[in-house]
């Protein structure tokens, strides 16, 4: 009878030792997770969009359908409207009909749309006023005059 008690005592000690190891591992994992979270939170950008905001969307390789992705594909899609705020980390967007991808994106992929720079009247690149020619049009006219038969 004493042999069975001795074996049972060893098994109980073994189980108790495993439980202590599991507790130590669990505590280390929680401590490392807290440390990792604080490091990530320092680098993360805290951006929240509202319904009706316009954003640029950065498409990743896994956003494309199989066979649609290639390295020269457009990675950013501009002026997409936020249709629904699912939670502070996920948004439903309204894409043009020719884009075949999921319409729910993580907050890391949309970029706030700041507006069009061509709305500025003092922009040097915007010379669409009547009577003004831009440099490309001047060069085109000179080329056509020089090469006419």
Q: Provide the residue-wise pLDDT of the chain in tens; the chain has 149 residues.
A: 455 666 688 888 999 999 999 999 999 999 999 999 988 888 776 777 788 888 877 777 666 666 666 666 566 777 888 888 888 778 888 877 777 777 777 766 666 677 655 544 444 444 455 455 566 676 677 767 766 65
Give burial (CB, 10 Å; 0-12/13-18/19+) of 113: middle
- In this prediction the pTM is 0.43
Q: Where are the beta strands (DSSP E) in the chain?
A: 54-58, 76-87, 90-94, 104-106, 110-112
**3-state DSSP assignment of residue 111:** strand
Q: What is the pLDDT of residue 95?
A: 78
| Structural tokens at position 45 | 């950008």
| Structural tokens at position 60 | 């990743």
Share of the chain above pLDDT 70, in %: 58
């Amino acid at each position: 009878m004493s042999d069975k008690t001795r074996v049972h005592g060893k098994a109980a000690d073994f189980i108790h030792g495993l439980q202590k190891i599991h507790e130590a591992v669990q505590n280390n994992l929680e401590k490392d997770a807290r440390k990792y979270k604080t490091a990530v939170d320092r680098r993360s950008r805290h951006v929240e969009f509202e319904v009706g905001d316009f954003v640029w969307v950065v498409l990743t390789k896994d956003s494309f359908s199989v066979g649609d992705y290639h390295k020269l594909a457009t990675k950013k899609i501009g002026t997409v409207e936020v249709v629904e705020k699912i939670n502070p980390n996920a948004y439903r967007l309204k894409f043009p009909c020719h884009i075949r991808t999921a319409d729910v994106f993580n907050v890391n992929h949309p970029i706030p749309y700041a507006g069009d720079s061509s709305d500025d009247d003092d922009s040097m690149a915007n010379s669409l006023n009547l009577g003004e020619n831009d440099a490309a049009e001047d060069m085109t006219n000179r080329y056509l005059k020089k090469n006419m038969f």
